[in-house]
Structure formats: C-alpha cells, structure tokens
Amino acid sequence: MGSSREKARVMEVDNGFARKGLRGDGYSSIVKLKTGDEDAAMVKDWVSFLVIGFVVFIGDTARGLMFPTLWPLVSKLGGTELTQGFTVAAFSFGRVLSSPHFGKMSTDYGYKKVLTFAACVMIAGCFLYATAQNCYWLIAGQVVIGLGSGTLGVTRAYVADNSTKRSRTVLMAYLTALQYGGFTVTPCVGGLLSYLLGDRELSLLPGLSLTQYTAPALLMAALALVAIALLAGPFRDYVPAERAALARPPSRPALPASSVADNLVNYKPTTPLPAAHPEEVSTRLWRSMVAWGLIMNVVTKGSVACYETLGTIVAIGSFGMSKPDAGFLFSSCGFLGVFALLSMKCLTAWADDIKLVFYGCLVMVASATLLFLDARIGLHGFFAAVFLMYSVGYPIGHTAVIGIFSKIVGARTQQQGSLLGWFGSAGSLARIIFPILCGVVSSEYGSNTVFSVTGVVLAGSVVVLLCLWTKINILIS
C-alpha cells in the first residue's frame, strides 16, 4: 500500500478529455482518490454539487409551494377549473421554452452566468405571481417562473461533466431526489404558510401584500436570491466550450499534393470498399440512442403525469376517500420515493442502469394494471398501485433513464448542456400534453381506459428496451 499522496496521482480521463493540470480558471481535473473514500471520488467538487442541488430543489419547489393555495387564488380571481388547468400547464410551458436555450447558453458562456440569469428570471416571475390582479396576470407569472426553472438540463450537464461514469447515476439520483422532494414535500410548507397567515394581509409595498396566496411566491423569490449568492460565492464555474477546445487534439497537417497523387496511382480498384465508415456507424448509433432516451423520458414523465391528473379523482370517486386523505396518500408515497432515490447508490451496486430502467418500468406496468381494474382491486389495491408508481417504479426507473441518457450524450461531451436541455424540455412537454389527453380520454371512455393505455405504452417501452439492450450497453460502457 502506497501513501495517500501517491494514490491521489491516479487520474481518470472521462468524457474523452485529458484534463490533467487544467486547474486555473475553474478548469480542474477529475481526480479519483484510491483511498477507499468512494464519496470523494464521485464528484470533483462537493460544494459546487450542493449548490447545484439547491438550484434543482428550488426549481421544482415552485410547483410544490403554490399547490395548496393555487386553486383558491384562481377561484378568487374569477377563474374556473379550465383556468386552473391552464395555470398549472403554464409552468411547464415556460420550462419547455427555456430549457434547450439555457443548455446551449451554458455550453457557450458557462454555468454560473446561465444559472444566475435563470434565478433572476424566477424572481421576476414570483413578483408577477404575487401582484396578480387577474387570471391572465397569474398565468403570465407562472410562465415566467417556469422560464426561470428551466435549468434541469444545465444542472444535469454540470454533474455529468464533473463526475465519473460509475458514479453518475447515483449523483443524478441525488438531483432527482431533490427535484422530487421539491414538488412532493414542499406542499406541506405551502399549507403551513396558509394556516399561519389565514385571512391576514400585511402591506409590504404599493401593490404588494403578504397573504396566504402571495407568501409562497415571496418565499420562492427569497430562495432564488440565496441561490444567486451561492453561485457568486463557493460555486466553481467553467465554460464547457473552452474546456473542449483546450482538450481537443491538434489537427493533422495536410498531405502534400504529390503524396495524394501517389496514393491515387497506387490504389487498386479490386480492393473491397467498407460498407460504411466506423465513425458514421458510431454516429448513427449515438443519434438513435439519443432519440430512444428522449422517448423514454416522455413515456415515464407522461405516465406519472396521468397519475397526477386522475389520481385524486379516482381516489375520491372510486374509493370514497376524502380530499385530505387522498392528498396525504400521494404525498406520503412521494416522500418514500425520495428515500428510494437516496438509496440509488446501493441499487446501482446491485444492478446496472439498464436493469434499473427495466425493473422500474415493469413496476410501473404493474401499477397501471391495478388501476385499470379500478374498484375491483379494493382500497388496499389502490394504495399498492400508488405506492408502486410514486415510491418505486417512477423514481427509480426515470432516474436510471437520466443516468443512461447522460452517459450516451457523454460521447459528445461538448453537447451535454444542449442535449440535456432538450431532455428537460421533452419531460416538460410530456407534463403538458399527457394531462390534456388524460382529461379528454377519461371524459369519453373512463379513467380505467387511460390507465390501460398507460400500461400498454409502458409495456411497449420495455419491449423496445429489450431489443436495444446490447446496443445501449455498448454505447454507455
């Protein structure tokens, strides 16, 4: 056994970059410490990772904090259930618009500038929300908050670009746990603010008051200010495009014209030509796997969106649960899902990413099948269906999809931010389209039809995964 200093010399070249010695201006190497401290080897800068985690948390806290008082506020402003639907969808709509652009900007200008700008946009949206005088104003505020929250691709790209392949799924699981906790646990905070403030109204500025309706937005603005301070302080930044340029090998000098002519003269026409250049085959495979990852993101996100849309309706209509009991059931299962995400390190030691996607989707199929049976499964069967989706299938399966996708795009590291931005937009788009489709299909054919279609789509994704298993494994290994 050598000294710890000697062990620290082992460098890991990840994502195709030889980054040894690039420590100035935020260009630092990923050092894998062979000291038994696996956590130290997972990511090169834990402080920056925690800052990224906080940014992820507040991004989805925007949905959770407002949830308890959103419908009362919409109703107070003269809106209907349809208005409520548009207000909820407005947040995801804003995310769809901003995610790919923020991803591209992070590649060109660095992570700190983009995340700071996004936090400022979020603050502007929170003040629009808090000063809303009508439903149109409120929807505009939700869109702007969504625009500022469209940094999932940026944060995932930062983690993917600054971690080892072995630890990437675990780190993505930590991020997803923070995201998942943001919109499943923080509704309790929004409800507490509503309880504490009641009907009281405290004037802060002309046109701005502290009430149970505005308190969540003002708290969100305060959290965004904290994020800006953290980004300006301990966060370690760099520009991916510049780092890629530094790591890019020098181009080969052009051959003299005489050498080219000699090669042409000596070329034998009888030599068989290859069917395709290996690089072209690799590029086609990479593109097809990127498309597969985006589709899997839509399928898993869309499936849980169906539960968010119809879950409470089924709980009340088919099983006679009260609204508070139904809300407690879904929040509790979501809270358990956070623990499942935090245990991803143990799960990845037991099974690789592809197996986790496979088993996660199978669990989601089982959940959808139970809900397809509707009242025939009884109340305990309904509890089991919600548990399988919110606590096991979705958090584990979807997180493994994120891990695989980040490894796939890692083959073209300079595109991490942009592609993971599109990944986030695809998920947000699923959260807009699937709830609308659920409402249409459920009103025409019943909720059990929605869950039967959901189960079939998930089962189809499992079949496709089995067909692509070997190719995915080759690309990410």
Q: Determine if the pTM surpasses 0.75.
A: no
The CB-based long-range contact list for 29-34 (8 Å cut-off, 24+ gap) reads: 30/162, 30/163, 30/164, 32/164, 33/4, 33/7, 33/8, 34/7, 34/8, 34/10
Same domain, 355 and 230: no
CATH number of the domain where residue 291 is located: 1.20.1250.20
Query: Are the C-beta atoms of 391 and 294 separated by less than 8 Å?
Result: no
Residue 99 belongs to domain spanning = 43-239
Name residue 210's beta-bridge partners.
Answer: 202
pLDDT for residue 389:
94
Give a yes or no: residue 379 inside a domain: yes
Local confidence pLDDT in tens for the 477 residues of the chain: 444 444 443 333 334 333 333 333 333 333 333 334 445 556 667 888 899 999 999 988 887 788 778 878 888 898 876 777 678 778 888 988 888 889 888 888 889 999 999 999 999 999 999 999 999 999 999 999 999 998 988 898 888 887 777 777 788 878 888 888 887 777 778 878 888 888 888 888 888 889 989 999 999 999 999 999 999 998 988 777 665 565 555 555 554 544 444 444 444 444 444 444 455 547 788 888 889 999 999 999 999 888 877 777 787 778 887 756 776 787 788 888 888 888 887 888 888 889 999 999 999 999 999 999 876 788 889 999 999 998 999 999 998 998 888 888 876 655 666 777 788 778 878 888 887 787 778 878 888 898 999 999 999 999 999 999 988 888 877
User: End of a domain among 211, 239, 267?
Assistant: 239
Q: How far is CA 119 from CA 51, 113, 143, 281, in A?
A: 13, 10, 14, 41
C-beta neighbour count of 7 within 10 angstroms: 14
In whole angstroms, give the CA distance from residue 238 to residue 118: 17
User: End of a domain among 210, 239, 268?
Assistant: 239
Same domain, 344 and 459: yes
Q: What is the DSSP letter of 250?
A: P
pLDDT for residue 384:
93
DSSP for 260-292, please give it.
Answer: HHHHHHH--TTSPPPSS-HHHHHHHHHHHHHHH
pLDDT for residue 340:
86
Per the structure, the count of domains in the chain is: 2
For 204, the enclosing helix (H) or strand (E) is strand 202-205
Same domain, 188 and 326: no
In whole angstroms, give the CA distance from residue 277 to residue 285: 13
Same domain, 322 and 227: no
Give a yes or no: residue 280 inside a domain: no
pLDDT for residue 249:
55
pLDDT for residue 416:
63
